[in-house]
Amino acid sequence: MKTQKTILRTVSMLLALSLSMAFGKNPYQAQWTNLEGKPISLFHDKKPVLFDFWASWCVPCRASIPSLNQIAQKIPGLNVVGVNADDPGDLEMARKFIKKTGMSYPSILDIPDKISEPLEVDVLPTLILIDTDGKELGRWIGEPENFQEILTKLIQKK
């Protein structure tokens, strides 16, 4: 039992270190660039953020967009932000993907792996829920069943 607690503490510390590398000391002040090249603040309204790591070539990413659009609209205490993992040279392809899929939430560029690398995102789609303190509340590869309910419960716990 003691060993499990030690392992959990170690994992929590490593996650906190990874998140501070990704977001800096104050996640509210983090500035990123959207697909139009304009700056975007992720935690500007002090709500948790659900990161959707996607790429234009990823078929499961495409399939999850309608559900994530609904989540973005139906959970007022949450910001949904796409993180485009395409090669920076494929920016036009990423824009076409957004238009074709009807993605309603903003997307930012992961150049060069500024978010995915410290968060150890190796598989797409990956969804990561981060609270306003930069703490990871949940991570999913693909979208689980009853995802909206899961997110609502995690946000309410916080």
Cα Dmax for the chain: 52
pLDDT of residue 123: 94
* Amino acid letter, residue 33: T
pLDDT of residue 10: 44
- Closest alpha carbon to 48 in 9, 80, 90: 80
Residue 34 lies in domain? 2-157
How buried is 146 (Cβ within 10 angstroms: 0-12 exposed, 13-18 middle, 19+ buried)? exposed
pLDDT of residue 19: 52
Read off the pTM: 0.81
Spatial separation of the C-alpha atoms in residues 86 and 56, rounded to whole Å: 7
Q: How many CA atoms lie within 13 A of 34 on its CB side?
A: 12
CA distances from 50 to 43, 93, 125 (A): 11, 23, 12
pLDDT of residue 111: 73
CATH of the domain at 25: 3.40.30.10
Residue burial 91-111, b: 16+ Cβ < 10 Å; e: rest? beebeebbeebebebbbbbbe
Question: How many folded domains does the chain comprise?
Answer: 1
pLDDT of residue 13: 44
Residue 34: DSSP 8-state: B
67-94 confidence digits (pLDDT tens): 999 999 999 889 999 999 987 767 888 9
Q: Are 80 and 54 in contact (CB under 8 A)?
A: no
- Regions in the chain scoring below 50 on pLDDT: 5-17, 28
128-141 confidence digits (pLDDT tens): 999 888 889 999 99
